[in-house]
Amino acid sequence: MEEKLKQLESTFLSKISDVQTEHELGSLRAQFLGKSGSLSEVLKGLKDIDPKLRPVVGSLANQIRDRMESGIKAKQADLESLEIAKKIQEEKIDVSLPGRIRWMGTVHPLVQVQDRIVDIFSRLGFSYIQGPEIETDFCNFEALNIPKNHPSRDMQDTLYIDENRLLRTQTSSMQIRAMLSEPPPVRLVMTGAVFRSEAVDATHSAMFHQLECLCVDENVTMEDLKGTLEFFAREMFGNKTKIRLRGSFFPFTEPSVEVDCTCVFCSGKGCKVCKKSGWIEILGAGMVNPAVFEKVGYPSTVSGFALGIGIERVAMLLHDISDIRLFYENDIRFLRQFL
Ligand code: DAH
């Protein structure tokens, strides 16, 4: 019986050295140490041997079982570390390879300019609102005191949807919506896309963006408009910027002005951008025409000013961009310059 046990151990040892996987190790364990495994089989013969020899053979069997157990444990550990080594090998990262660059999205240059202007007016207490791109004839023309025979109402300039609806040609339409929905005082800054039936070239687009301000209260004067414009010009183009008002005409303001500021590039000395004049036109403005207040049902005791800025125009000036189409093509090489 002792012989059988030793035989068993040596078979076990030679088999375990061939084991390659945890699964094989599991079967080996069952084969030798399981309930009906080889060791149990041999030990069944224990009852047939001389009782005096039983303790000796029994203790030998126990030693062999312990050695087999620890052999299996050791093999298990070996297999595990082999597995880890294999994984490390497979998942090895070559840290010397150049990384993959993930480009971050950026704010579009037009939105950057818009955000800056909105921020300046917000600091003066103007609230930001938006309005629909599909407008009524009333908000876009009628209530803005633009008469039926006005050339801008021509099909050649305005994109109509039907007789009463059109794509807004100016953000001034939002002034009307705002005044129809809330009583004075109002102090609003508004932005959005506007549409015109326009042939597209380097300086014209059928769709572009405007920013509009409206301030209505009692005793709002031209002086308030001028102070607001001066603050805006300094914040936007630098502390030394001066403004100049030139008489102009818009149906919805009376008086109306065109606003120039000293050239951002030559500080008024005269250069290519300002065509040697030292001044650059940046926006249209004026005192709200009482006819507009009448259309929206505001009392005759109020007064106000309004102003409108072309966002593309300001962005083109600031960044020295000569073709408006660049804003809409979304060429990543162009956009990446405005991080
Ligand atoms: N709506 C005018 C345009 O599209 C711009 C404008 C001029 C807006 C004077 C104003 C303003 O609010 O007071 O040309």
Q: How far is the CA of 105 from the centre of ligand 1 (A)?
A: 33
Contacts (Cβ under 8 Å, ≥6 apart) of 67: 9
CA 38 to ligand 1 center in whole angstroms: 100
* Most confident option among 51-65, 145-159, 305-319: 305-319
Inform me whether the pLDDT recorded for 282 exceeds 90. yes
Stretch 140-152: mean pLDDT? 92
> What is the predicted pLDDT for the residue at 155?
79
Say if residue 112's pLDDT is above 90.
Answer: yes
Residue 108 has pLDDT above 90, yes or no: yes
Residue of 145, 154, 258, 164 lying closest to 196 (CA atoms) = 154
Q: Which of 252, 311, 313 should be mutated for ligand 1, with most atoms under 8 A from CB?
A: 252
Residue 253 has pLDDT above 90, yes or no: yes
Q: Is the CB of 250 under 6 A from ligand 1?
A: yes
Residue 131 Cβ inside 6 Å of ligand 1? The answer reads no
pLDDT of 213 over the 90 cut: yes
CA distance 339 to 337: 6
Lowest mean pLDDT among 37-46, 106-115, 169-178, 302-311: 37-46
Mean pLDDT of 174-186: 98
Q: What is the pLDDT of residues 292-307, one digit of tens each?
A: 999 999 999 999 999 9
pLDDT number for residue 40: 85
Atom of ligand 1 nearest to the CA of 309: 5
Q: In Å, how far are 115, 124, 323 from 109, measured between CA atoms? A: 10, 24, 14
> Within 13 Å, how many C-alpha atoms sit on residue 271's CB side?
12
Is pLDDT above 90 for 256?
yes
Strand duo 302-310 + 127-129: pairing: unpaired
pLDDT for position 4: 86
CA 339 to CA 326: how far, in whole Å?
A: 16
Ligand 1 atom with minimal separation from the 285 CA: 13
The residue ranges of every structural domain in the chain are 2-90, 109-338
CA-CA distance, 266 to 269, in Å (whole number)?
A: 5
Q: What would the CATH number be for the domain defined by 109-338?
A: 3.30.930.10
Query: For the chain, what's the residue count?
Result: 339
Distance 220 CA to ligand 1 centre (A): 18
Q: Is 172 in the pocket of ligand 1 (CB under 6 A)?
A: yes
Confidence of residue 223 (pLDDT cuts 50, 70, 90): very high
Q: What is the pLDDT of residues 69-83, one digit of tens each?
A: 999 999 999 999 999
Look at residue 53 in the predicted model and tell me its pLDDT: 83
- Ligand 1 center to 338 CA (angstroms): 28
pLDDT at 56: 86
Residue 184 has pLDDT above 90, yes or no: yes
Q: What is the pLDDT of residue 238?
A: 94
Q: What is the pLDDT of residue 38?
A: 86
Task: pLDDT band for 339, please (50, 70, 90 cuts).
Answer: confident
pLDDT tier for residue 151 given thresholds of 50, 70 and 90: confident
Q: Tell me: pLDDT of 154 over 90.
A: no
271 close to 297: Cβ distance less than 8 angstroms: no
pLDDT for res 44: 84
For residues 107-141, one letter each, b for 16 or more C-beta atoms within 10 angstroms of the residue's C-beta and e for the rest, the string is eebbbbbbeebbebbeeeebeebebeeebbbebbb
Tell me, using a 6 A CB cutoff, whether residue 158 lines ligand 1: no
pTM strictly above 0.75: no
Quick check: CB of 286 below 6 Å from ligand 1? yes
Q: Is the pLDDT of residue 259 over 90?
A: yes
Check whether 331 has a pLDDT greater than 90: yes
Q: In testing the pocket of ligand 1, which one of 117, 170, 171, 186 has its CB within 8 Å of the most ligand atoms?
A: 170
36: confidence class by pLDDT, cuts 50, 70, 90: confident
CA of 139 to the centre of ligand 1 (A): 14
- Residue 103: per-residue pLDDT: 82
306 lines ligand 1 (CB under 6 A): yes
Predicted confidence at residue 94, as pLDDT, reads 86
Q: Report the DSSP pairing between strands 186-195 and 127-129.
A: parallel
Chain-wide mean pLDDT for the chain? 93
CB 141 near ligand 1, within 6 Å? no
Neighbours of 202 (CB within 10 A): 12
Determine the Cα–Cα distance for residues 27 and 29; give it in Å rounded to an integer: 5
pLDDT band at 327 (very low <50, low <70, confident <90, very high): very high
